[in-house]
Each structure stands twice: as C-alpha cells, then as structure tokens.
Amino acid sequence: MAFFEIEILNLKDFLELIFRFGFNFITVTVIVKFLYYRASHRKDYFFTYILISTVIFLMCFLLENVKLELGFALGLFAIFGIIRYRTRQIPIKEMTYLFVVIGISVINALSNSNVSYAELVFTNLAIVFVTYILERLLGLKHEAKKTINYEKIELIKPNKRDELLRDLEERTGIKINRVEIGEINFLKDSAKVSIYYFQNNFEVNQADV
C-alpha cells in the first residue's frame, strides 16, 4: 500500500532498520557508557555522543535508501567529524570519541550486501576491543592543563619551584604534575602559570583548556 506514492510499510526494510539500529545502539552504548563515561564521568558528552550517533545512523540509513553516492556519505562524515561547539573547544580525547561514534554509526548504516554480517560484527567488536585496550588495560592517563593568574611572583623563581608547587596544590586541591611559567606582569605583581595534572586525579570542568 502507498500514500501519495510513498509506501506505508516495507516490512523487509523496516525490520532491517530495527536490527541495524539496535546493533549500532548497543555498540555505541558499550563504548560511551562502559568505556568513556566510567573514565571521565562527563554526562554532557555522554548525552551528546548517544544523540549524535542516533541521528547520524538514521540519517545515513534513510539517505542511503535514496541511492546517494559514497562521496556524499564521506562529506557528511567529514562535516560532523570537525564539529566544534561555540562555547568551548572540545578536548582531544572527547573529539576522538566523537569521531569513533560517528564512524561506527556511518559504517553500520551504509554497509550494503557486499559486506557480510560477520564482517560488520567483527568491525564493531574490533573498535570496541581497541578502545577497551587503550582506555582500561594500558592505563594511559590524560594530562590536562589549566592556566591561572598567580600573584606570588616571588615563588616563580627556579630555586623556589618546590614551594610554588606546594602553594598551588594547597590552593587548587590538584595533584600537580608539572608547572610552566608564562607571561609575567611586574606592574601588577602577577604571572600566568600553567599547571599540568593527570585528568584522573581531578574532575575536568568547562574551564579546562
């Protein structure tokens, strides 16, 4: 049956949509919930990744049915892959996860009859496995950075570096890994100090750079 020359229900395509969507949603949820979120506890990005993945998948799947060329798909992938939010720059790790969820969604949506389900499952599992290895087993720590205005310029001297670290750690509550001294303003008795710390030791907030 059709309404204005559009099929009301194509059971075969509809069931394929449900199957592929469920498969994609499970894969993305495993990566975002059990790998990314457990390490970062960033609810804002969790929300973003799930919705972007859902929209990208449905967009690609439905547009693929109207036989758009592969070039369009790659262009769409590139556009969403370079997304930058106006409020702040996205940290490199979050950008990588964004790239991963977009890539998985595009793969799951646009794979055709030339790609077997075994190959599709292997591709998804390979991405999940590599992400798990990097995030969990290797124990890689992300070094975050904050730049602050510091008024005790007498402590920025090289021979007082230990005192500087103790003062900054006491004030910020952050276990600092290293410090860099930037611009010094003797008129205002202040200096730009960049502190570096492992992200796991402090909850990153929106002021991170």
> What does the mean pLDDT of the chain come to?
80
Q: What range does the domain containing 190 cover?
A: 143-201
pLDDT in tens, 93-114: 888 898 899 889 989 988 877 8
Q: How far is it, in rounded angstroms, from Cα 165 to Cα 177?
A: 9
Same structural domain, 79 and 130: yes
Q: Does residue 95 lie in a domain region?
A: yes
pLDDT of 202 over the 60 cut? no
Same structural domain, 122 and 147: no
Same structural domain, 128 and 76: yes
Q: What is the identity of the amino acid at 2?
A: A
Q: What pLDDT, on the 0 to 100 scale, is given for residue 48? A: 87
pLDDT of 86 over the 50 cut? no
pLDDT of 6 over the 80 cut? no
pLDDT of 189 over the 80 cut? yes
pLDDT of 88 over the 60 cut? no
- Residue 117: Cβ-neighbour burial (10 angstroms; 0-12, 13-18, 19+): exposed
pLDDT in tens, 108-158: 988 877 888 899 999 999 999 999 988 877 666 667 788 899 998 888 888
Q: Does residue 207 lie in a domain region?
A: no
Q: What pLDDT, on the 0 to 100 scale, is given for residue 81? A: 55
Residue 93 Cα distances to 140, 162, 201, angstroms = 12, 30, 16
pLDDT of 30 over the 80 cut? yes
Same structural domain, 148 and 107: no
Three-class SS state of 6:
strand
Q: Does residue 118 lie in a domain region?
A: yes
The last residue of one of the domains, among 85, 115, 137, is 137
pLDDT of 13 over the 60 cut? yes
